[in-house]
Structure 1
Amino acid sequence: MTNNVVHNTDQRRYEILVDGILAGFAEAHEDGDVVTMPHTEIFEQFGGQGLGSELVSGALDDIRVRGKKIVPTCSYVERFVQKHRDYADLVA
């Protein structure tokens, strides 16, 4: 099984693909150097596989590389950052 996190700028979100099939997404609304992340969703048939963490870490890694900050209004993203303190520097 191959998982990929991709930035879909047209849909304003990050997506996680499992063997090429969309398994979930994290909304990412950019305004200048700030990315607001209001919602994260893993589709039911892909639940329980750790894809949420993989999706959010992939999104945050990309946001860091691009030199942006985040506003984690999604409770899942907020908890993820609290649990993984190495991403705390990304919070605007």
Structure 2
Amino acid sequence: MTTVHDNAAEQEFELIADGHRAIAAYQLEGDTIVFTHTLVPREVEGRGVGSKLIRGALDAARDRGLRVVPQCTFVRAYIERHPEVQDLVR
């Protein structure tokens, strides 16, 4: 697995795992980032790819001082399971 990369032109955080691209789509609204959709290819599901992707995206949001709106159910579930990132939620 590589590191999480912000593809700002596409408004997606991405992570390449074994040649497959996982994405967390977002929309920026002022000082808020709204996570709208997460996609992890079937070939790499169940290996922590989605969790690593979302953790990297949330770390980037924190570094930029952004508040988070977890519209995506995967992102919402990740935040519910990880109290250390719950302060980001708007």
CA distance in 2, matches of 1:18, 1:43: 9
Cα RMSD after superposing both structures: 1.1
Percent identity of equivalent pairs: 32
Following superposition, the deviation at residue 22 of structure 1 comes to 4.2
Q: Give 1:54's match in structure 2, choosing from 47, 52, 55.
A: 52
Following superposition, the deviation at residue 47 of structure 1 comes to 1.2
Unaligned runs of 5+ residues in structure 1 are: none
Q: What is the number of equivalent residue pairs in this alignment?
A: 90
Stretches of 4+ aligned residues off by more than 4 angstroms: none
Q: Identify the residue that residue 70 of structure 2 maps to in structure 1.
A: 72
* Secondary structure class of the residue paired with 2:36: coil
- State the TM-score, normalized to the length of structure 1: 0.92
Q: Identify the residue that residue 61 of structure 2 maps to in structure 1.
A: 63
CA distance in 2, matches of 1:48, 1:77: 16
Report which stretch shifted further, 54-63 or 40-49. Answer: 40-49
Q: Quick check: 2:20–2:44 contact (8 Å CA) kept in 1?
A: no
Q: Quick check: 2:79–2:86 contact (8 Å CA) kept in 1?
A: yes
